[in-house]
Amino acid sequence: MDNIGFAFLLTLIAGLSTGIGSFIAFFSKNTNKNFLSCSLGFSAGVMIYVSMIEIFVKAKDSLSLSFGDKMGTGATILGFFGGILVIALIDKFIPKDTNPHEVRDVEELDQISSNSLNTPKAKMKLMRTGIFTALAIAIHNFPEGLATFIAALQDSTIAIPIVVAIAIHNIPEGISVSVPIYYATGSRKKAFLYSFISGLAEPVGALVGYMILMPIMNNTVFGILFASVAGIMVFISIDELLPLAKEYDDGHYSIYGLVFGMLVMAISLFLFM
């Protein structure tokens, strides 16, 4: 029971880091884009390395106990690409009215003519942008929450770096939700609330996953689930984190962050062997 509480707490921390993005947007005049690029690259490095080197292997070990080495490896591969397929379908069917990272910070909107933001049509468009962005992020956060929760139940040494990586990744998402809502309503409270709610999808994903899967959990279910988690995390890293990191990048900071994230994850796994 203690492990379940700890796993849920880690998932909650990861999800609510979207709120940090709101604070950064409102109380920081300038965004250090190279630092943000490096941080996002770091997150991708952590998630890719731990998925391919640790989570995939643990999934294979579990499935091999159920099906033998060859069939277990095949089932792991199917689970991995099945996870990619699931998150790709989620990505395909989220609302396309807005790009989740279209509006990045307050400074960017401050450069827009103030007159263009004062019309009812402009405010309605910004509000719509914020709401759809929050919805898109919530849908993406749901499987992330399940991934974090399952990882934490299995091994906290794997889960904590994942939580850090997802938290860093959620900060700009929080900004992208809160900024258009703020400019549409003039209310920091509403902007923070929408951002906060979008992050709650992660602990909700953990809770739903626990209620559905825990009663039937065994080596086979765990292995398939863990393999799927690895696929989901690799897809998120390649599809979201790295492209966004490159958008902020003035040089090779995103790649430096990627390599450093892999190195940190490798060292942490080595130390806790």
What pLDDT, in 10s, does the model give residues 197-246? 888 888 988 888 788 877 887 889 888 988 988 898 898 889 878 887 88
CB atoms within 10 A of CB 24: 18
Amino acid at 87: I
| Domain spans, the chain | 3-26+39-272
Cβ-contact 213, 7 below 8 angstroms: no
If DSSP codes are grouped into helix, strand and coil, which group holds residue 161? Answer: helix
How much is the pLDDT for 63? Answer: 95
Instruction: Kindly report the pTM of this predicted structure.
Output: 0.69
- Report the residue count for the chain: 273
Tell me the pLDDT tens digit for each residue of 40-92: 888 888 889 988 998 899 899 999 999 999 999 999 999 999 999 988 887 77
How much is the pLDDT for 121? Answer: 74
Measured CA to CA, the distance from residue 267 to residue 231 in angstroms comes to 22
183 Cβ partners below 8 Å, 6+ apart? 109, 117, 123, 126
How much is the pLDDT for 113? Answer: 42
Measured CA to CA, the distance from residue 211 to residue 192 in angstroms comes to 29
Is 169 assigned a ligand-binding role in the annotation? yes
Measured CA to CA, the distance from residue 64 to residue 57 in angstroms comes to 10
Is 144 assigned a ligand-binding role in the annotation? yes
Is 3 assigned a ligand-binding role in the annotation? no
Measured CA to CA, the distance from residue 159 to residue 85 in angstroms comes to 23
